[in-house]
Structures are given as C-alpha cells and as structure tokens.
Structure 1
Amino acid sequence: MKNAMNLVAAAKAHVTEVPLDAADAAIRDGDVLIDVREESEFAAGHIPGAVHASRGMLEFKLSSTPALQPRDLKVVLYCKTSGRAALAAQTMRDMGYLNVKSLAGGFDAWKAADKPVVQPELPSFG
C-alpha cells in the first residue's frame, strides 16, 4: 500500500525540481509562479509575484482561469517543503502542461535563504 511519501517520491522522479540557487532565474524566466499551499499559509507570507492555487483546488483553478489554461505556460510551483508542489507538478503534467517545475525545498528553503517574502500587513492603531 502506498503512502504520501511514496507518492511524492514517484512524482519527484518525473518532475523537474529547480534548486534554490537557480530559483530566481526560473521565476524570472517563467510565465507564472503558483503557491499550492493552503490559503492560510499563503496569507501568512509568500514569494513575491506568486498566485495562490491550493493543491486541492489546482485543477479547478487552472480550468477556470483563462490566463492559466495555455499548456505551454512556463510554470514554477512551490509549497512548504516541496512535496505538494511535486504532486501538483505531476498533476499538471497529466493535464498536458509542458513546462512545469517545482521549487526544491519549497517556501521553507526560500525563507531560510533570506529571499524576499511578502508578509501580511498588520493594521496600524496609532
């Protein structure tokens, strides 16, 4: 019986992962950066320029958003540590997307490298 880690390992065997040191170039050269974490994770902080499409809703977001429908889009995906992004990348490949990559190490690695993060703005009471 397969478990989550087996599925992630199988997805990673078929998906291109972008190492952190090449992430800036991959994002800059891509057409869209998609954060597949949950809404609360995205709201707590995300990579600048990312659009949100949680993994559980990804197929629906891709199908209902005209700008995300071209199968030749250059897509970079990320999640917290890279497991969900690998699974999402595999799903996109299954949907016919041709240029999908995932960020190795995910948001945690990005943040640990002190790369820019969009943080929520707290209201000012003063």
Structure 2
Amino acid sequence: MPLKTTAAKMVSDARARIKEVETIDAIKMVDDPNVVIVDIRDIRERQRSGYIPGSVHAPRGMIEFWVDPDSPYYKDVFGQEDKTYLFHCASGWRSALTVATLQDMGFDAAHLREGFSTWGAQGGPVEQEDKT
C-alpha cells in the first residue's frame, strides 16, 4: 500500500514551520546558562559519537511525555521558565519532527538544522562517555 506522505515530506513540512538553528550559531550557545540543549538520539549514538557538553539526553520516544507536566513521566528540566530549548538528533530529521510536535503541544523550542553530523567538524565541543 502506498504511503499518503513520506517521512521526507513530513520533515520538510516541519522545517517550514519551526525555528532552525545553524551549527555555527548553536556552538555559541553551548555555555549560555539560558539554553538547554536536548539530545534526542539513541543512547548508542551518544556512546558511539559523543555528545554536546551539558546536553540533556531525552530519548525521542519519550519527549512528549517528558515535557507534559500532566504526564507521570514529566521531567523538571522541561519546566524551566525563560530557557531556550534546542533539540538535536544526528542529521536534523528526528529533531525537526520532534520540535514540530512540541510546538503543536504549545512547547517553544528550536532544533539544530544539520544535527550532530556537522557539530565536531565545525568546531563544536564533543564529550565522550567515560568507559571506565
């Protein structure tokens, strides 16, 4: 059965209505105490390729529940007022869909347009998980 829409079309539609942040601009946000960088990649991706220092790990499958104060899975990190939330995945597809969904819920956020894929190459700091 043919799909009614493709994943690529969904991402394109999401990107047309959300705020996208370029990697070089996001790098400048790393040390800003008013910015919460949220990594929605799978834990294995973080372990394999590292992560942005200070980023919050929030698995993609739990985001809607973690940001909803009425959910039993709510996380306080998402209830901070006057914070800028910047979500990222590996290439910007999952984070675009995530931010569009959160926007529909009334949660204000942006996403890293190219994801983590260009982060290190553009000079962004990367931490590796301690394997000891």
Output the TM-score relative to the length of structure 1: 0.86
Q: Deviations over 1:15-73 (max 9, x none)?
A: 11111221123442643110011121123311111101121111112231123135753
Larger helix fraction of residues: 1
User: How far 1:86 moved relative to its partner?
Assistant: 0.5
Alignment-mate amino acid for residue 25 of structure 2? A
Alignment-mate amino acid for residue 10 of structure 1? D
Q: Is the 8 A contact 2:23 2:113 kept in 1?
A: yes
Output the TM-score relative to the length of structure 2: 0.82
User: How far 1:105 moved relative to its partner?
Assistant: 0.9
Match of 1:96 in 2: 106
Which of the numbers 34, 38, 42 marks the counterpart of 2:42?
38
Aligned alpha-carbon RMSD (Å): 1.8
Displaced runs of 4+ in structure 1, greater than 3 A? Answer: 70-73
* Structure 2: segments with no counterpart, 5+ residues: 69-73
Aligned residues: 122
Matched, 1:48 2:53: yes
The 5-angstrom pairing of residues 16-95 of structure 1 reads 16-27=19-30, 28=32, 30-44=34-48, 45-63=50-68, 64-70=74-80, 73-95=83-105
Identity, in percent, stands at: 33
SS at 1:111 equivalent: coil
SS at 1:8 equivalent: helix
* Structure 1: segments with no counterpart, 5+ residues: none
